């Protein structure tokens, strides 16, 4: 594996505090707090001159500067764990000297850009954070770790620790990673609503979509063509991928693309449904539930508790000036004249 370093660095001072080369492929990110609002230069210079056996691959300064202290091909001495530091890129971020060890917005922005760059170059497709120490090493579930899991230390400080979800989210946006978790919950909601009935099938399509998107992004980057990236010209993009020998089954991918388009439309329609749900409180002491949206439909039950109900759909219908609302329970429809939104 040929390792590279980030082109985002503004300073470089390689320290002797390292083990060369690392023995594990890079699949983890470990963010630390460098106590004190230093620049990247100050941080790197410290690691290069100190007698203490410590270092990190990168240092992010309070001013957004980024320094290289240990090349990515080598293991830095950062996290009190050889197994962690051999597989992780470690980053020290300048922070306040006191609790909660906050970092500046400039440092946060630089950190997010740096982590996204590290992930891209090392083929980490998605950053995953569960705040769960028991998942150390299970990089398919969680590929961020923190120093406090390996030693009695407050590092990375509560400020950065609590920002880990945010950092992962922002980095994933840059990586164009679609969260599998989010999609599986969307697909579940489609199943719940009876729009689709084979979640495994659609999850598999979603995985194809992720793969295809990653390929298209790669292609767009190579060709600098926004046209291709927009999915507006998928047939051309897929043909180009074939030509570049990235994929070899254009028909398979075209078919997948059609299915994926269908799934995307379903997800949008589901999202519309989800956003539509709202709560109402019944204001009448007795309110009929009807089989359909209108007084011409049979009464199936009566609400007498002035309770709170969820409306999932609206419809016009006879006998109600504000229209009719469908109850989430599936019991039927109620007149919106006798409820108030809460
Ligand atoms: Zn640390």
CATH number of 278-341: 2.30.30.40
**36 C-alpha to center of ligand 1: Å?**
13
pLDDT at 285: 95
Q: What is the mean pLDDT of residues 1-17?
A: 93
**155 C-alpha to center of ligand 1: Å?**
5
**244 C-alpha to center of ligand 1: Å?**
43
- Tell me if 11-175 shares its fold with 278-341: no
Q: Is the Cβ–Cβ distance between 89 and 122 less than 8 Å?
A: yes
**90 C-alpha to center of ligand 1: Å?**
9
Q: Is the Cβ–Cβ distance between 212 and 256 less than 8 Å?
A: yes
**196 C-alpha to center of ligand 1: Å?**
47
Topology of domain 11-175, per CATH?
Answer: Lysozyme-like (3.40.80)
CA distance linking residue 24 with residue 19, whole number of Å: 12
Q: Which residue has the higher pLDDT, 279 or 269?
A: 279
Quote the tokens at residue 81: 């764990």
φ, ψ for residue 11 (rounded to 5)? -155, 150
pLDDT digits (tens, 9 = 90+) for 122-172: 989 899 999 999 999 999 999 999 999 999 999 999 999 999 999 999 998
Quote the tokens at residue 105: 């917005």
Lowest-confidence range among 112-116, 211-215, 286-290? 211-215
**10 C-alpha to center of ligand 1: Å?**
22
**226 C-alpha to center of ligand 1: Å?**
40
**242 C-alpha to center of ligand 1: Å?**
46
**30 C-alpha to center of ligand 1: Å?**
8
**56 C-alpha to center of ligand 1: Å?**
9
CA distance linking residue 55 with residue 25, whole number of Å: 19
Could you tell me the pLDDT band of residue 298, with boundaries at 50, 70 and 90?
Answer: very high
**3 C-alpha to center of ligand 1: Å?**
23
Break the chain into its structural domains and give their ranges: 11-175, 180-274, 278-341
**41 C-alpha to center of ligand 1: Å?**
18
Percentage of the chain surpassing pLDDT 70?
71
**177 C-alpha to center of ligand 1: Å?**
27
Which residue stretches of 224-326 are H helix? 226-229, 234-243, 250-276
pLDDT digits (tens, 9 = 90+) for 299-310: 999 999 999 998
Report the half-sphere exposure of 306 (CA within 13 A, side-chain side).
4
Instruction: Please give the helix or strand (H or E) that residue 313 lies within, else none.
Output: strand 308-315
* 74: pLDDT strictly greater than 80: yes
Average confidence score pLDDT of the chain: 84
Could you tell me the pLDDT band of residue 251, with boundaries at 50, 70 and 90?
Answer: confident
User: Of the candidates 94, 32, 102, which has an alpha carbon nearest to the alpha carbon of residue 63?
Assistant: 94
């Amino acid at each position: 594996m040929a390792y590279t370093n980030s082109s985002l660095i503004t300073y470089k001072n390689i320290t002797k505090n390292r083990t060369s080369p690392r023995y594990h492929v890079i699949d983890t990110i470990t963010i630390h707090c460098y106590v004190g609002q230093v620049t990247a230069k100050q941080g790197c210079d410290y690691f290069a001159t100190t007698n203490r056996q410590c270092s990190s691959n990168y240092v992010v300064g309070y001013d957004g500067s980024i320094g290289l202290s240990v090349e990515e091909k080598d293991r830095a001495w950062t996290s009190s764990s050889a197994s962690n530091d051999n597989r992780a890129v470690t980053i020290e971020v300048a922070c306040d000297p006191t609790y909660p060890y906050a970092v500046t917005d400039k440092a946060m922005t630089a950190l997010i850009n740096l982590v996204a760059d590290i992930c891209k170059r090392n083929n980490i497709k998605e950053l995953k954070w569960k705040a769960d120490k028991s998942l150390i090493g299970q990089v398919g579930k969680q590929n961020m770790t923190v120093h406090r899991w390996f030693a009695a230390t407050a590092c990375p400080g509560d400020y950065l620790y609590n920002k880990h979800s945010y950092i992962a989210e922002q980095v994933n946006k840059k990586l164009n990673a679609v969260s599998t978790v989010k999609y599986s919950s969307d697909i579940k909601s489609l199943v719940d609503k009876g729009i689709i009935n084979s979640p495994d099938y659609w999850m598999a399509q979603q995985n194809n979509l992720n793969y295809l998107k990653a390929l298209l992004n790669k292609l767009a980057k190579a060709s600098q063509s926004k046209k291709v990236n927009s999915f507006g010209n998928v047939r051309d993009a897929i043909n180009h991928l074939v030509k570049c020998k990235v994929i070899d089954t254009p028909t398979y991918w075209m078919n997948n693309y059609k299915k994926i388009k269908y799934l995307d439309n379903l997800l949008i329609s589901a999202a519309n449904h989800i956003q539509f749900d709202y709560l109402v409180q019944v204001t009448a002491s007795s309110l009929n539930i009807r089989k359909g949206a209108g007084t011409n439909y049979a009464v199936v039950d009566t609400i007498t508790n002035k309770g709170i109900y969820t409306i999932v759909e609206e419809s016009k219908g006879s006998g109600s000036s504000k229209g009719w609302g469908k109850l989430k329970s599936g019991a039927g429809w109620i007149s919106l004249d006798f409820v108030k939104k809460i």
